[in-house]
Amino acid sequence: MLVIVAPGQGAQSPGFLQPWLEDPTFRARFDWLSTVAGVDLVRHGTESDAETIRATEVAQPLLVAAALVAALEVLPKPSEGRALVGAVAGHSVGELAAAAGAGVITAEQAMVLVRERGRAMAEAAAVTSTGMTAVLGGDRDEVLSVLGQHGLTPANDNGPGQIVSAGTADQLAALADAPPAKARLIPLSVAGAFHTEHMQPAVGHLAHLARSVSTHPPRTRIISNRDGAVVDDGREVLDRIVGQIASPVRWDLCLSTMADLGVTGLLELPPAGTLTGIARRALKGVDTFALKTPDQLDDARAFVTKHGEA
């Protein structure tokens, strides 16, 4: 069984779209989504530096657009492609790309929502100095206990040995001074404490907009970040994505669901690498494919055929 996943914020790197935009079809589709979002994503995906694309209002539409257009390169005929895909999932903002891929919303609706999501989260992050730090290794129970002692939220539970903590700058500094035993801390290059109570103002804004968005039942299984559940109602999918802005991402539970469904192959859309790395540790024996550059497309299509359900 094939699962296709879309990465979240932090996966982007300067110039990652340069080779993709050399293809006229990819370029035309990407230009269209850039126009819908009202952001010069071509420039940000080719010329902008790391600090510029770190900005939430830039990174989020950039990632969703890249995943959506790359998916059309892998599966040129979506109706036939969906028959091959056993499930889709997205990490954090990647859920919007997954929802569009599953037919819950259109690509254009996804781009409008991600534009507003990025702006609203950037505004929420500007209120208080907050951030995120990855905690690698250590005993899980001890890690969670130490985070609680410092008032931090386990904002991303990504599976064995990787929990991302989030909170104020002071709380993260306290964690750095007194980390869990046998754990390594890596401060992340993000603009705020995403998936925590600090993002609640953004939830209200997106919820208001989402009420006017028409939804459809998923044409492919879609696995939710909230609890790893397979959600079969389009409105619930969108409501969960909105609420997730201020709630932890349980990617560990998404991985458990994939295992329960019998996944044999996991393909990550660009900018790929993060989620396939996690899957290699958590889903032993499952083939993974990190789609990073267009010269991999033939191999990616062969991977889809190998693991596809049809």
Structure tokens, 1:
């069984």
Structure tokens, 216:
């459809």
Report the C-alpha gap between 9 and 96 in whole angstroms. 12
Long-range CB pairs of 27-34 (<8 Å, 24+ gap) are 29/69, 29/72, 30/65, 30/66, 30/69, 33/65, 33/68, 33/69, 33/107, 33/108, 33/111, 34/65
Q: How many CB atoms lie within 10 A of CB 84?
A: 18
Spatial contact of 185 and 134, defined as CB atoms under 8 Å apart: yes
Count of helices and strands (H, E) across the chain: 14, 9
Strand, helix or coil for residue 182? coil
198 is catalytic: no
| Active-site choice (92, 165, 224, 247) | 92
- Strands (E) across the chain are located at 2-6, 85-90, 130-137, 153-157, 162-168, 183-187, 221-222, 265-268, 287-290
Give the gyration radius of the chain's Cα atoms.
Answer: 18
205 is catalytic: no
Q: Which residue has the tokens 């609640």?
A: 200
| Active-site choice (150, 195, 198, 307) | 195
Catalytic residues: 92, 195
